[in-house]
Amino acid sequence: MSNVKILLLAAGSSSRMGRPKQLLPWRNTTLIEHQINILLALNFPVTVVLGAYSNEIQEHIKMKPITIFTNRNWKDGMGSSISFGLVEMLKKTPTFDGVCVALVDQPLLTKSFLMKMIDSFNVTGKHIIVSSSKDNIQGPPVLFPSVYFNELIKLKGDFGAKQLIREQANKIKLVFGGDELIDIDTQEEYNKFFDKI
């Protein structure tokens, strides 16, 4: 079994939602607590990067068996939070095999899908494991081998690791996630899926 760590990005201001999406009610808890619970079920270390509303959000998750970092430069975008989070993780544990980057606003993800990603990674440990939706949209969660850590640390702006994934197109493996990969950005999207849970 590979030594994998999980990086949950929860630093955004939820500008399209109009309120902190991290704290939206979801299955008798909050969106971020639900997501953390799913990730903890994998039995890999979980690190959460906060930014906007960090003090308020920490009150909800501080008792979880996770590591929490606050990115003071969260306004610089997702790339900044990936870079910041990975640097902090490497300070605590200088070597590990891979990092799975997950987002706080994909509440339909299941433990079984995430385990499929990790199982795929365990086969070679060399490929980037990328989620693929039913519309063939490729994106998070993404599991990066350690060979890409230096590239992740260089990330800036709000584009995350999309460019890196495009550049390494011949070194990725896709794992089909279907509707599990839907993310929630607006109140309308939240209302639509909240009615189904």
- Domain borders along the chain are 4-194
Q: What is the pLDDT of residue 79?
A: 93
Q: What is the pLDDT of residue 136?
A: 78
- Report the percentage of the chain scoring pLDDT > 70: 97
E-strand ranges in 25-171 read 25-26, 29-30, 46-50, 67-70, 98-103, 128-132, 138-145
* Residue 196 confidence (pLDDT) above 60: no
Classify domain 4-194 at the CATH class level. Answer: alpha beta
Model pTM score: 0.94
* Residue 38 confidence (pLDDT) above 80: yes
